[in-house]
Amino acid sequence: MATQIFTLVGVLIGALTSYFATTVAERAKFRREMATRWDERKLDTYIEYLTCVKQIQRAAMAAGQAREQGVDASEALAAMEENENRRSILFETFVLLSNEKAATAAHTVNQRTWELLRMARTPSSGTAELRPIPLVEALNVLHEAARSDLTISSAVSVR
């Protein structure tokens, strides 16, 4: 009888140990999967947001060049406004997914983008007036913050 009780207790301890080990492993796996899922979403959002900002910058520069050449800049300005609308919407997702450092850097990028938009909308603005706006520096800070948030090793900033 005592042998059967020891055997039963041993089986019970083994089953509980197995259950707890499996539960802990499954929870860890779930957390990794969720982190990976959100990191992928974060990366996609960061790329879309930064692409929008670059498209705004290119369109603003194209509008400035058109004005310098005496050509109609309305097409470039329309593209700039369309991308600004997209950037504004993407920014909300960006802030929801990013850490504080990346969100702060994105706010700075927004400020520089708005300066660029304001200057590009001014009829007298050419590319010479648009160049001094320090958007590229703000983008480099945002790139670094995004890499840190995504735990990607730092690389040299591209200008």
The pLDDT value recorded for residue 157 is 47
Residue among 57, 149, 60, 159 nearest 103 (CA): 149
The pLDDT value recorded for residue 25 is 75
Q: Are 123 and 72 in contact (CB under 8 A)?
A: no
Please state, for a pLDDT cut of 90, what percent of the chain lies above it. 55
User: What pTM value is reported for the model?
Assistant: 0.74
What are the tens digits of pLDDT across the range 119-159?
999 888 777 777 778 899 999 999 999 999 988 865 544 44
Q: What is the mean pLDDT of the chain?
A: 87
Average pLDDT of the residues in 57-71: 91
Encode burial over 7-37: b for 16+ CB neighbours within 10 A, e otherwise.
eeeeeeeeeeeeeeeeeeeeeeeeeeeeeee
Euclidean distance between CA atoms 142 and 49, whole angstroms: 11
pLDDT band at 101 (very low <50, low <70, confident <90, very high): very high
Domain boundary assignment for the chain: 39-149
Predicted confidence (pLDDT) at residue 51 exceeds the cutoff of 50 = yes
Structure tokens given for 13: 């301890």
What are the tens digits of pLDDT across the range 8-38?
878 888 878 888 888 777 787 767 766 566 7
Euclidean distance between CA atoms 52 and 45, whole angstroms: 11
Highest mean pLDDT pick, 60-64, 101-105, 149-153:
101-105
Structure tokens given for 21: 């080990």
Euclidean distance between CA atoms 95 and 155, whole angstroms: 23
Average pLDDT of the residues in 53-61: 95
The pLDDT value recorded for residue 129 is 78
Q: Does domain 39-149 have CATH number 1.20.120?
A: yes
Three-state secondary structure call for residue 51:
helix
Average pLDDT of the residues in 37-61: 92
**Higher pLDDT residue, 19 or 64?**
64
